[in-house]
A and B are shown apart, each in its own frame.
Chain A
Amino acid sequence: NAGVTQTPKFQVLKTGQSMTLQCAQDMNHEYMSWYRQDPGMGLRLIHYSVGAGITDQGEVPNGYNVSRSTTEDFPLRLLSAAPSQTSVYFCASSRWTISYNSPLHFGNGTRLTVT
């Protein structure tokens, strides 16, 4: 099993450009989520999904869109990149239970720089 696969590993964008961060998992996990990590801020939840066709906002959703058309994939879209979105992005998945008590499996991250 590959686990959680994120692409690309690195990306540089100019302000106003759009792009999609890809995330795929092969563990048949219902729950998938996106976090951003900034120095001193820990991991902040952007969006999450408890199954195909279902998405919801996390702590810092503004500027990001997500969709979940399949169980395996959970792409994160930046419609108009801003320098404030420079960060390391992690995708994570887990089995879903109503109490969110399954361990998260993380991808290796995408380092995004917006100039």
Chain B
Amino acid sequence: GQQVMQIPQYQHVQEGEDFTTYCNSSTTLSNIQWYKQRPGGHPVFLIQLVKSGEVKKQKRLTFQFGEAKKNSSLHITATQTTDVGTYFCADATNKLIFGTGTLLAVQP
């Protein structure tokens, strides 16, 4: 079964609102990757987190890796319509196992 769970499965926001998706594992992760898939497209790598408690930023996107390395989050500040898509985390500890994804819809 799926080893990496993501919540929520779906989120609808108004443009300008913030958005957060969470990735949880029952086991300790060595590192975690985040991907974005636009509707009709293929997943595209965003970032990788390796260290416990690590925080990385890409413009309006903030990625965090939990202290216990069992969870991670992606936060988008002031969403834009270009943020629409599905966001996946992937456990890169042993092979690359993806979470179930969070579909973000942004209403202008």
A contact residues vs B (CB 8 Å cutoff): 33, 35, 40-45, 48, 58-59, 90, 92, 99-101, 103-109
Q: Please, how many residues of chain B have a CB less than 8 angstroms from a CB on the other chain?
A: 26
Is the beta-carbon distance between B42 and A42 smaller than 8 angstroms?
A: no
Is the beta-carbon distance between A43 and B48 smaller than 8 angstroms?
A: no
Q: Which of A42, A99, A104, A105 has the most B CB atoms < 10 Å from its CB?
A: A42
Q: Which residues of A contact B41 (CB under 8 A)?
A: 108
Given A90-B42, A104-B43, A43–B9 Cβ distance below 8 Å?
A: no
Listed from nearest, the 7 A-B pairs whose CB atoms lie closest are A103-B45, A43-B98, A106-B42, A42-B100, A100-B92, A42-B101, A42-B98
A108 to B50, CA, bound (A): 28
A88 to chain B, nearest CB (A): 9
Q: B residues 82-108 with Cβ under 8 Å of A? A: 88, 90, 92-101
B79 to chain A, nearest CB (A): 22
A50 to chain B, nearest CB (A): 10
* B30 CB-CB contact with A under 8 Å: yes
Q: Which of B6, B44, B96, B98 has the most A CB atoms < 10 Å from its CB?
A: B96
